């Protein structure tokens, strides 16, 4: 096919050994903060996270095929494994190594690094997501208080808050700020 085609064997590597989890969690929290949880943006968020993950990873790091490997387990190239190790806190890596049984020698190193990496990614994603949520929570509080002062029902506040949040998000060019912040945490 063309140069952008993606091997189906690369999908587990793309989802687990890249920052896909970080992107998905942060974009999900951003979607929640904007108030778009009832709208069908879940699939859009997932596709956007996959696109960012593809953008940030080099194709040679996706999958290394082994000739005698019949297992479904992901086989990571040494370079990618080293990059993942470098981004993990040493004490977290040691904790995950301690969790793997001592008699498990098949892919023990890769499994411990992958578990520590995913844990680190989720922690980073929650920290970033919290930073993105705070302005939206403040807007919600201001709108609810304003509606209460005016004697309106609190259910009306969500109707008023959504356009305000979207207007402010778009006026400060929120998408480019979010993407820039996400990509800077990966590089």
Q: What is the pLDDT along the chain (187 residues), one digit of tens a residue?
A: 444 444 555 666 667 777 888 899 999 999 888 888 766 778 888 888 888 887 887 654 544 444 444 443 455 566 677 777 877 888 888 888 888 777 766 667 777 888 888 888 899 899 999 999 999 999 999 998 888 888 887 677 778 888 899 999 999 998 899 989 888 888 6
Would you say residue 145 lies in a domain? no
Number of domains in the chain: 1
Please tell me the distance from the alpha carbon of residue 158 to that of residue 120, in angstroms, as a whole number.
34
Would you say residue 168 lies in a domain? no
Would you say residue 165 lies in a domain? no
In the three-class reduction of DSSP (H, G, I as helix; E, B as strand; rest coil), residue 17 is classed as: coil
In the three-class reduction of DSSP (H, G, I as helix; E, B as strand; rest coil), residue 50 is classed as: helix
Would you say residue 91 lies in a domain? yes
Spatial contact of 62 and 36, defined as CB atoms under 8 Å apart: no
CB atoms within 10 A of CB 47: 10
pTM, entire model: 0.74
Q: Which two tokens stand for residue 114?
A: 């992958």
Determine the structural domain holding residue 59 and report its residue range. 8-132
Would you say residue 157 lies in a domain? no
């Amino acid at each position: 096919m063309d140069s952008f085609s993606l091997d189906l064997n690369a999908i587990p590597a793309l989802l687990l050994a890249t920052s896909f989890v970080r992107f998905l969690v942060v974009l999900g929290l951003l979607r929640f903060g904007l108030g778009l949880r009832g709208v069908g943006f879940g699939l859009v968020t997932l596709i956007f996270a996959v696109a960012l993950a593809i953008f940030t990873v080099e194709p040679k790091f996706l999958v290394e095929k082994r000739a005698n490997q019949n297992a479904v387990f992901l086989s990571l190239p040494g370079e990618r494994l080293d990059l993942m190790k470098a981004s993990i806190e040493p004490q977290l890596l040691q904790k995950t190594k301690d969790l793997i049984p001592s008699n498990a020698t098949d892919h023990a190193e890769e499994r411990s690094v992958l578990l520590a990496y995913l844990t680190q990614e989720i922690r980073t994603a929650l920290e970033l997501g919290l930073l993105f949520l705070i302005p939206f929570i403040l807007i919600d509080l201001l709108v609810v208080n304003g509606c209460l002062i005016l004697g309106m029902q609190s259910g009306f506040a969500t109707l008023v808050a959504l356009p305000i949040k979207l207007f402010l998000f778009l006026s400060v060019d929120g998408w480019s700020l979010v993407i820039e912040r996400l990509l800077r945490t990966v590089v």
